[in-house]
Chains A and B, each alone.
Chain A
Amino acid sequence: MINLLILPIIIPLFTAILLIFLTKYIVLQRWISGLSMIGTISASIILIQTVHTDGIQTLNLGSWPAPFGITLVSDMLSALLVATSSIIAFCCLIYSFRSIGEGREKFYYYSVFQFLLVGINGAFTTGDIFNLFVFFEVMLMSSYVLMVIGGTKIQLRESIKYILVNVISSALFVITVAYLYSVIGSLNMADISRKITEINQPGIVTVIAILFLIVFGLKGAIFPLYFWLPGSYYAPPAPIMALFGALLTKVGVYSILRTYTLFFYHDTGYTHQILMVLAILTILAGIIGAIAYEDIKKIIIYNIIIAVGIITFGISVMTEESLTGSVFYLIHDMLLKAAMFLLIGIIIAITGTSRLSNISGMIKRYPLLGWMFFLASLSLAGIPPFSGFVGKLLLVKSGFAAGHYIGAAVVLMSSLFVLYSVMKIFINGFWGVPKEFPNEGKVPVYMLLAPAGLLIAIGITYGIGAEFVHSYISQAAEVLKNPALYIDAVLKE
């Protein structure tokens, strides 16, 4: 079926539309959104297998040939990311059933949830730069609603900041696309790449490259542009926070990855140097935040920033090994960050606070929660049998091999601080003298632990089965390293 690669976009879209009619019937909404999510996951897994056996899949929407219509392109990277984000969205959805509350559920929560997935899957799949903008907006508008839904004071305040920053960055995105279009005269990504090669990346294209870095840096929270993230992600409830933390910034990182490997790879001495400096500073800024705070939400939020820095460092090194490492780490981080947010969501639900000094001795009554948090922490820091290890190993190795000693050393060091920051939560929160917590017994702990457990299980399988996964990841990195493969698949030359 030639429309296979659009199914992960169409299925949630139809579901979102259907759920508009069913806002009053909560149980029905849950069933429909759950089942459709399973459909999306199956479609994306079939897609991965198809890409693995038959190479890059393309679909010219409306049957218009490649540079003239909108082309959807599914190479291994986007297929993997679509599958990962669908799985994460499924887990967050299951978690929402028992935690989000009836008021929100009756107010189009599940519908908007599906629209968010449409935007994310679309942004990963599209092969057209303006269509990428449109899917960004689909994603962002759903995220505005999810951020403000419920209407508590902190949500209102933070969503104003969040919307303001994103409106500005979207305007900058449009301006940048306009510059690119006036220089190149095309919007199809493969065609743009071919034409930039023809004119051999003059200075103006390098300027556009930096503008794209600013735009996607604002979306993906790299060093001087991450200022909005800690406050905004602090506001919404746990499942939404998990969804944002795991997926939204990663779409920005994916866009940097795509544009810097497909468009702007001719003058790497300048653009990728800047990217590397920013990546290192991003890691440092994240580390400072992660060890400074005594608030468990803030600690995990700053861990997002560290991960963004690590992945962009891999992009800036631009060898096949470092790109493999980046992709490997990207998928690992999406899975584990979501799990981490879901776990601290449970902790906050039980204790009613996110201040670390008010929590202690939870391991006595919640051993499963404690040990799962422990596993997730080790995995996040990259302790060998778990999933964070392989990606970081490849990144550090390729960094040293390419002579970027400072960057590689910072990546290596960051593990230590990540481990310190999450162990701080574990040691202070789970060990020590048990305290009385206000919501004890009222929280359906096992129901909420199931989706987090699923994510951690997938994460651990991903780490232990690295040999098996590697064949897929290296296929993704191969396309990133040789843009000709992508261009040939789209333009059919």
Chain B
Amino acid sequence: MKKNDVILQTVTNVVVFMIFLFSLQVFFSGHYHPGGGFIGGLMTSGAIVLLLLAYDIKTVSKIIPIDYKLLIGIGLFFAVATGAGSLLFNVPFLTHAFSHFDLPILGETSLHTAVLFDTGVYLVVIGVTMTIIQTIGEGE
């Protein structure tokens, strides 16, 4: 007999977006409040894992067609390139810069290159977590 997961799947459809938004909120607040790339990435992959629980691996890879192994590479590249960017200005590796900008909708915002580094961390964490879970899930 085939199981019917209609409640689980319907709840998942709603909750996944909430988890994802919360993870982004945690990610972007990392500089001034508890949070950052690691916990943000872990929570985003938590959302994807919930999808995996409600549906199966094939469906989820159709919804989110990402090769997570490449995501690790992209994330690492982000992080290292942010650090290596300082080589171009002949200052020590990993020297960050920040400034205040007047953006159209958000008003005065301080933008920091550390966010780029954190984006790298975020992507690597998602990539690693999902690679682990998918390979174990697909393994016989």
Contact = CB atoms under 8 A, between A and B. Distances in A.
Contacts of A18: 73
B76 interface: yes
A21 B95 contact: no
A62 B70 contact: no
B77 interface: yes
Interface string B62-104: 0000000110110011001000101100111111100000000
Contacts of B70: 20-21
Nearest to A20: B73
A3 B69 CA distance: 30
Interface residues of B, number: 17
A71 to B, nearest CB: 10
A61 interface: yes
Contacts of B96: 62
A3 B80 contact: no
A62 B92 CA distance: 6
B93 A1 contact: no
Contacts of B72: 20
Tell me the dominant secondary structure on chain A's binding face: helix
A3 B76 contact: no
Interface string A1-24: 111001000100110011011000
Contacts of A59: 92-93
B92 A63 contact: yes
A348 to B, nearest CB: 32
Contact of B80 (A13, A20, A61): A13
Contacts of A10: 80, 84, 87, 93
Nearest to A61: B94
A63 B98 CA distance: 14
A14 B91 contact: no
Contacts of A3: 86-87, 90, 92-93
A60 interface: yes
A97 B86 CA distance: 35
B93 A61 contact: yes
A6 B95 CA distance: 13
Nearest to B69: A20
Given A21-B70, A62-B95, A14 B80 contact: yes
Given A20-B69, A20-B72, A21-B73, A63 B80 contact: no
Contacts of A13: 80
Interface string A21-53: 100000000000000000000000000000000
Nearest to A5: B93
B73 A2 contact: no
B91 A63 contact: yes
Contacts of B73: 17-18, 20-21
Contacts of A60: 92
Interface in B92-132: 92-96
Nearest to B79: A17
A2 B90 contact: yes
Contact of A2 (B76, B80, B92): B92
Contact of A17 (B80, B87, B90, B91): B80
A35 B92 CA distance: 25
Interface string A382-404: 00000000000000000000000
A186 B130 CA distance: 37
Contacts of A6: 93
A20 B70 CA distance: 7
A8 B90 CA distance: 17
A17 B84 CA distance: 13
Given A14-B84, A62-B95, A1 B76 contact: no
A20 to B, nearest CB: 4
Nearest to B81: A14
A10 B93 CA distance: 10
Contacts of A17: 73, 76-77, 80
B92 A1 contact: no
A8 to B, nearest CB: 12
Contacts of B69: 20
Contacts of B92: 2-3, 59-63
A176 B56 CA distance: 45
A7 to B, nearest CB: 9
Nearest to A63: B95
A1 B84 CA distance: 13
A17 B83 CA distance: 14
16 contacts: A2-B92, A3-B87, A3-B92, A6-B93, A10-B93, A14-B84, A18-B73, A21-B73, A59-B92, A59-B93, A61-B92, A61-B94, A61-B95, A62-B92, A62-B93, A62-B95
9 residue pairs, one from A and one from B, having the closest CB atoms: A20-B73, A62-B94, A63-B95, A17-B76, A61-B94, A6-B93, A3-B87, A17-B77, A63-B92
Interface of A: 1-3, 6, 10, 13-14, 17-18, 20-21, 59-63
Interface of B: 69-70, 72-73, 76-77, 80, 84, 86-87, 90-96
Given A10-B87, A17-B73, 14 more contacts: A2-B91, A3-B92, A3-B93, A10-B80, A13-B80, A17-B76, A17-B80, A18-B73, A20-B76, A59-B93, A61-B92, A61-B94, A62-B92, A62-B95
